[in-house]
Amino acid sequence: MKHNILLIDDSPTDAAILVAAFEEIGYAGSILVAHNGIEAIDILDDISHHNPTEWPQLILLDLNLPRKTGLEVLDDIKTNPAWKSIPTVILSSSSSANDVSSSYQRHANAYIAKPRQLEHYEMIAKQLYSFWLDSAELPSS
């Protein structure tokens, strides 16, 4: 089964590193990248109305986004009946207890602090793929 990931991150460097990490572990699905919160919601709206075959199986969401914060995007995702069942994992450079707590209160499915070393991105990609896309039973799109 082909899987799709929506990666929402304003850092082109961080996004490229994560995409490369998924490629390195042999991930064959597509990764759509949104660079701000408004673009992320527009992508989800477009998919909902025009491209249901591109429905993401997993959303990776940074908190520090321009135009609309990650927490605002998370609120939009988890209050929209069409989107709320998409597993949404926070992947942020912040490890603040307040950010972690706020994310879970808004129904994030997991919170992962971005690694500080490049080689750890591959480990995170492996773990995300193994659990969310290979092991977990996800709702049909």
Per-residue pLDDT tens over the stretch 105-114: 999 999 999 9
3-state class (DSSP) for residue 84: coil
| Rg (alpha carbons) of the chain, rounded to whole number | 14
Count CB neighbours of 17 within 10 A.
Answer: 17
Residues 6+ away with beta carbon under 8 Å from 128: 58, 60, 89, 112
Residue 27 is predicted with a pLDDT of 93
Q: Which residue has the higher pLDDT, 53 or 134?
A: 134
Total-model pTM: 0.94
Residue 116 is predicted with a pLDDT of 87
Per-residue pLDDT tens over the stretch 41-65: 999 999 988 877 778 999 999 999 9
- Answer yes or no: are the C-beta atoms of 40 and 75 closer than 8 Å: no
Q: For residue 76, count CB atoms less than 10 angstroms from its CB and return exposed for 0-12, middle for 13-18, buried for 19 or more.
A: middle
Of 4-13, 47-56, 120-129, where does mean pLDDT reach its minimum?
A: 47-56
Report residue 66's pLDDT band, with 50, 70 and 90 as the boundaries: very high
Measured distance CA(113)–CA(87) in Å, rounded: 17
Provide mean pLDDT across the span 105-134: 94
